[in-house]
Amino acid sequence: MCGIIGAIANANVVPVLLEGLQRLEYRGYDSAGLVVTDSGLKRLRTPGRVNDLSKLVEQQKTQGVAGIANTRWATHGEPSERNAHPHFSAEEPLIAIVHNGIIENHEHIRNYLKDKGYIFLSDTDTEVIAHLIALKLKEVNDLFKAVCLATAELQGAYAIAVMEEAHQESIVVARHGAPLLLGVGKDGNYVASDASALLQVTRDIIYLEDGDIAVLSNHGYRIVNCLNSQFGEPVNRIVHESHLSNEEIGLGSYSHYMQKEIFEQPIAVANTLEMLSNAQSIAPNLFGSEAEKIFSETRQILILACGTSYHAGLVARYWLETVAGLPCNVEIASEYRYRDPIADPNTLVVGISQSGETADTLAALEYAKRLGYRHSLAICNVPESALIRQSELRFLTRAGPEIGVASTKAFTTQLASLLLLTVTLAKMRNRLSPEAEQRMLEALRHLPVALQNALKIEPEVKIWAQSFAQKHHALFLGRGVHYPIAMEGALKLKEISYIHAEAYAAGELKHGPLALVDSDMPVVAIAPNDQLLGKLKSNLQEVYARGGELYVFADADSQITSNDNLHVIRLSEHAGLLSPILHTIPLQLLAYHVALVKGTDVDKPRNLAKAVTVE
Ligand code: M6R
């Protein structure tokens, strides 16, 4: 889960590497490092962040016309300078490597290399690749061939960029199971984990595919694919023009990406549902040309996802069962991939992921296919991602780049997409009258405005955040379709404020967790005016009667009034099926403002990274 970048040009590339690393820092921020050509290969590494690396560069006046760099999320070996990339092969010929991914057979290769006398200076799996390439290089005396031979022995996922001290006129890159793209520039060529890192120099992007190995020089590039032959077959990969704008990837007037992304939700949802703006009806082809046929055969849904995306799946289960009348299972991808479920070929498998790179979700989807599931749909925010490519049907959440580690706009756009899926399936199953279809279209078109209104409660939430920030634990309660929203609220709070938070279905409280309730345990409840409101109020009474302090997000018509230990913030009147989407907003704002009061690193919470590309 690192970010990597490489550049080879006619001028100093160090500023390009540093700017690129800043853009990639969301992928990991345990350490940073670079290698550039400077007569030999000059390496700078820091256990700190990219800003610390920039200071080192300045102090040492580091320059070079070719280089590779990495911002790391530690997997093998603690975050430290010793484990920071780039890694060198300790023996001649000297090569340097940066890597994103995880090598599963690194132990085996390490032992083999140790037997050959190689000495390891770090605990990383990456250093294993460095030595293996160096060993092959001794045999074939050509870096490109050495990378072909070495990568053929690797199991796992990797995107690598490699330089050789003796041949500084090229960089060799390879990908398998981790994203990597080339940037074709006027005065040089580039490689990175994601396009945002390269916009500073070019918009011409080539997405490498699994098995691709490319050689970059300052005047060109050559790509081969090595899946079926030792030194690869030349391949032509299309050059795409990236339409990412600097506004989309910059902070603008906001203090944090999370804040920006919370407030972008109305426009993110509007973009995601743009195709409905003039639509008279809802059509399955929004999900792909084969969708009508596949949906007509669908008898059940299986959703696979992790984290926040899993919570979106849990909400969708209520909608799919109630509105579309389809049985639905929602599985945590990391668990599903190690179970022995029974496949029903008439099930549509839906993978939900912001990044489309989450290793567990990708593996669970592949596992489901092997078990005999025939049809898959990706709901994803990244068009060129592995999830999109692995799935038969696709629906893009057009949230724009989500950079804050805590997922916000990806979640609400996933929910909007899943509601659209539900309504589409309901229509195809004759469970939606033409009038109901028109009402749903209206509701979905109104959603961005409703989100805008929900954001207006921020000043009230800010006040709550002051007292919340003093607490060490919190309970989140919801019922029915709002229970997963409570789970999402608890995840947001713990993720960025480090306050321990747990979510419970409110009816479960008396079966155990009520024992935790005292004046030090704030209890957050989501109280929409739905058919479960009466039941929820009884559950809240159980808390109140035991001296618990309640923080309730209610609908305007929920008829709950503030009291001594009962604080209420009201949203709009009950929004029917849209209610869980709107009730997400106050919980995101609460987590954000509590984190601000606590002074945590909101966009880069400790120990985490944005795209979890390892198991
Ligand atoms: O990219 P994905 O949606 O597949 O990511 C899944 C989770 O890692 C992600 O949602 C994570 O839980 C978020 N950091 C939560 O805010």
Specify the CATH number for the domain of residue 159: 3.60.20.10
Q: Say if residue 447 is in the same domain as residue 463.
A: no
Instruction: Kindly indicate the confidence band of residue 429, based on its pLDDT and cuts at 50, 70 and 90.
Output: very high
Q: Say if residue 436 is in the same domain as residue 461.
A: no
Q: Say if residue 178 is in the same domain as residue 323.
A: no
List the structure tokens of 184: 């074709």
Please state, in angstroms and rounded to a whole number, the distance separating the CA atoms of residues 425 and 229: 44
Domain boundary among 190, 216, 241: 241
Residue 303 belongs to a domain: yes
- Residue 25 sits at the vertex; the CA angle it makes with 174 and 492, to the nearest 5 degrees, is 120
Residue 610 belongs to a domain: no
CATH code, domain carrying 472: 3.40.50.10490
Residue 31 belongs to a domain: yes
Residue 604 belongs to a domain: no
List pLDDT tens digits, range 350-388. 999 999 999 999 999 999 999 999 999 999 999 888 999
Instruction: Kindly indicate the confidence band of residue 92, based on its pLDDT and cuts at 50, 70 and 90.
Output: confident
Q: Quick one: what percent of the chain has pLDDT higher than 70? A: 100
Atom of ligand 1 nearest to the CA of 608: 14
Could you tell me if the CB of 354 is within 6 A of ligand 1?
yes
Question: Any idea which residues carry the catalytic annotation?
Answer: 2, 610
Query: Given this model, what pLDDT does residue 247 score?
Result: 87
Q: Say if residue 378 is in the same domain as residue 510.
A: no
Reported as type and span, the H/E element at residue 570 is strand 566-570
How buried is 197 (Cβ within 10 angstroms: 0-12 exposed, 13-18 middle, 19+ buried)? buried
Instruction: Kindly indicate the confidence band of residue 216, based on its pLDDT and cuts at 50, 70 and 90.
Output: very high
Residue 224: CB partners within 8 Å, gap ≥ 6?
Answer: 212, 213, 214, 231, 232, 233, 234, 235
Kindly give the residue spans of alpha helices, DSSP state H, lying in 239-354: 246-249, 257-263, 265-272, 291-297, 307-322, 333-336
Could you tell me if the CB of 414 is within 6 A of ligand 1?
no
Rg of the chain on CA atoms, in Å:
26
Domain boundary among 454, 482, 498: 454
Residue 482: which of 437, 433, 413, 533 has the closest Cα? Answer: 533
Ligand 1 binding pocket mutation candidate from 407, 418, 496, 613 (most atoms within 8 A of CB): 407
Query: Given this model, what pLDDT does residue 91 score?
Result: 73
What is the 311 CA–ligand 1 centroid distance (Å)?
Answer: 10
Atom of ligand 1 nearest to the CA of 414: 3
Residue 93: cis peptide before it, omega within 30 degrees of 0: yes
Task: Find the mean pLDDT for residues 400-407.
Answer: 96
Atom of ligand 1 nearest to the CA of 308: 10
List the structure tokens of 328: 């639905």
Residue, of 39 and 3, whose pLDDT is higher:
3
Could you tell me if the CB of 168 is within 6 A of ligand 1?
no
Atom of ligand 1 nearest to the CA of 612: 8
Task: Sheet with 181-184: list strands edge to edge.
Answer: 40-46, 31-38, 66-72, 3-9, 188-192, 181-184, 204-207, 240-241
Could you tell me if the CB of 170 is within 6 A of ligand 1?
no
List the structure tokens of 522: 């704030």
Distances (CA, A) of 508 to 39, 77, 450, 535: 67, 41, 31, 12
Q: Say if residue 107 is in the same domain as residue 173.
A: yes
Domain boundary among 208, 241, 274: 241
Residue 237 belongs to a domain: yes
- Whether residue 413 contacts residue 584, with contact meaning beta carbons closer than 8 Å, is answered with no
pTM confidence score: 0.92
Q: Say if residue 382 is in the same domain as residue 275.
A: yes
What is the 308 CA–ligand 1 centroid distance (Å)?
Answer: 5
Burial per residue of 331-354, b for 16 or more beta-carbon CB atoms within 10 angstroms, e otherwise:
bbbbebbeeeeebeeebbbbbbbb
Give residue 97's domain range. Answer: 3-241
What is the 490 CA–ligand 1 centroid distance (Å)?
Answer: 14
Reported as type and span, the H/E element at residue 411 is helix 409-428
Pairing between β-strand 549-554 and β-strand 522-527 as defined by DSSP bridges: parallel
Q: Say if residue 350 is in the same domain as residue 283.
A: yes
Task: Find the mean pLDDT for residues 4-33.
Answer: 96
Query: Given this model, what pLDDT does residue 364 score?
Result: 97
Could you tell me if the CB of 309 is within 6 A of ligand 1?
yes
Q: Say if residue 292 is in the same domain as residue 439.
A: yes
Number of domains within the chain:
3
User: Residue 433: what are its φ and ψ, rounded to 5°?
Assistant: -70, 160
Could you tell me if the CB of 591 is within 6 A of ligand 1?
no
Residue 603 belongs to a domain: no
Q: Tell me, what DSSP letter sits at residue 95?
A: E
Q: Say if residue 412 is in the same domain as residue 549.
A: no
Could you tell me if the CB of 602 is within 6 A of ligand 1?
no
List pLDDT tens digits, range 140-175. 999 999 999 999 999 998 999 999 999 999 999 999
- Residue 392 sits at the vertex; the CA angle it makes with 386 and 395, to the nearest 5 degrees, is 75
Residue 291: which of 379, 352, 353 has the closest Cα? Answer: 379
Residue 608 belongs to a domain: no
Q: Say if residue 40 is in the same domain as residue 55.
A: yes
Q: Say if residue 409 is in the same domain as residue 372.
A: yes
- Whether residue 140 contacts residue 149, with contact meaning beta carbons closer than 8 Å, is answered with yes
Residue 1 has pLDDT above 80, yes or no: no
Residue 98 belongs to a domain: yes
Q: Say if residue 498 is in the same domain as residue 409.
A: no
